[in-house]
A and B are shown apart, each in its own frame.
Chain A
Amino acid sequence: MERHIQTPLARDEVKELHAGDYVYLTGTIYTARDAAHKRIQEALDKGGSLPIPLENNVIYYMGPSPAREGRPIGSAGPTTASRMDKYTPGLLDLGLTGMIGKGRRSAAVKEAIVRNGAVYFAAVGGAGALLSKSIIRSEVVAYDDLGTEAVRRLEVRDLPVIVVIDCEGRDLYETAVREYCTE
């Protein structure tokens, strides 16, 4: 099913999403990948403040290539989500409702997705030039020294993603592969 969804992403909206849905996201989202997650966790451990609001927000696991003059961003596709698994349950418990990445998630992340009524989307890996066309603005909001790994606030318009793990714990990576397996 095709859907157009606004971000920030409210929990009652997440309930309507099912594994396999093709979704176009419009609104504000944030980027964070390995190094930024590590710093966010360190800030949480020390009781410090977070660089981005988590409540009802979506994190895109993405570190772009540099933007050419006059463009908001360079190539901007998803990175492998499982490297963030260690940090994700804590962020979901603090209000994060959506993540965009690629690849499988751990059992602990799936449990946290269900517990919090959140959703995991996949964007197509290796389609960074195409995906960059849906990003209309990009601004570094934290950890500038991390370069491509800095936290960015993005304005996106119709960013194409696919629901992989929905709030009831259905996992498209498992179901879709079974459908085409002929071993």
Chain B
Amino acid sequence: MRTINAADITQNIKEMCIEANHFLANDMDRAMKTALAQEKAPLGRQILGQLQDNLKIAGEDMIPICQDTGMAVIFMEIGQDVHIEGGLLEDAVNEGVRRGYTEGYLRKSVVSDPLIRENTGDNTPAVIHYEMAAGDRLKITVAPKGFGSENMSRVFMLKPADGIEGVKNSILTAVKDAGPNACPPMVVGVGIGGTFEKCALLAKKALTRPVDQHSAVPYVKELEEEMLNRINQTGIGPGGLGGTTTALAVNINTYPTHIAGLPVAVNICCHVNRHVTREI
């Protein structure tokens, strides 16, 4: 058994919220530079160039990359030999978000009720996903999610007979409907299988996988490559203003499902695709 203090969790989450909103993850940084080198449309190149300038200004002047600093989505992988002391885990996480968004000059974009819509003033609560793991470590991933792209995400409850073609059509439909609204070049997270809520979570988690790392399952890797190609043939391009770079990656996660179903979730993310992971 290893003891972790709640205050350490708070401090780490605070720092991770600020880091994710000012500095692009290394995998995304490489992908955006490659996109600029490969884009064929002149306006597309100009937009990708602006995004490079934007990243430089964000890091040097500590101005968030995007004004939508997101709702804080947090994955907690908890080793089952970890004991947390000094407070409730959920409170520690939300306190980290509160401090990160307040002290880090990040935008407060959360309303306390979806219909009454009063801003909570500190960007809490976070959306927290807990997962148990082996060992005595705590792995935290902070992935603040903007809603320009979140709003364009979809769940499709396909029939088994729809098969892989149905999955491909679902991904293309979601991407084309998203178009310029989702701030392309986008990253497309896909969850296939499980249940209604499980496939959505698979898709969300797929966005935290590095964009230069394919699925370990051979047919899924092939599907990721094929869909990236096809998405980049749509012509949507950077900013949705035409071009050959519409997506930087398609990351697909799968899970066993029911004999009667084929759930598919498509979680679309913008070109910032914030994600920071730490292990404590």
Contact = CB atoms under 8 A, between A and B. Distances in A.
Contacts of B53: 127, 130
Interface residues of B, number: 51
A59 to B, nearest CB: 16
Contacts of B153: none
A182 interface: yes
B148 A124 contact: no
A147 B65 CA distance: 20
Given A35-B117, A128-B63, A103 B54 contact: no
Given A66-B107, A77-B67, A148-B107, A177 B236 contact: yes
Nearest to B53: A130
B69 A65 contact: yes
Contact of A129 (B40, B41, B46, B63): B63
Nearest to A67: B105
A178 interface: yes
Given A164-B241, A172-B242, A175-B242, 18 more contacts: A22-B46, A75-B58, A79-B68, A103-B240, A122-B180, A122-B241, A124-B50, A124-B239, A126-B54, A127-B66, A128-B64, A147-B119, A176-B235, A177-B236, A178-B235, A180-B41, A183-B230, A183-B235
B262 interface: no
Given A102-B148, A180-B41, A173 B179 contact: yes
B234 A183 contact: yes
A132 interface: yes
A75 B270 CA distance: 16
A68 interface: yes
A103 B107 contact: no
A80 interface: yes
B151 interface: yes
Contact of A180 (B109, B151, B183, B242): B242
Contacts of B272: 126
Interface string A54-70: 00000000111111100
A179 interface: yes
> Which 3 A-B pairs rank lowest in CB-CB distance, beginning with the nearest?
A176-B242, A181-B235, A180-B235
Nearest to A146: B119
A76 B183 contact: no
A133 B242 contact: no
A102 to B, nearest CB: 6
Contact of A104 (B61, B180, B183, B271): B180
Contact of B235 (A62, A160, A164, A179): A179
B45 interface: no
A125 B241 contact: no
> Interface centre among B67, B237, B242, B243, by most A CB within 10 Å?
B67
Contacts of A146: 119
Interface string A86-105: 00000000000000001110
B233 interface: yes
B135 interface: no
Contacts of A172: 241-242
Nearest to A125: B183
5 contacts: A65-B64, A68-B62, A125-B239, A128-B67, A172-B241
Contact of A62 (B67, B108, B237): B67
A79 B107 CA distance: 13
Interface in A69-83: 74-77, 79-80, 82
Contacts of A130: 50, 53-54, 57
B207 interface: no
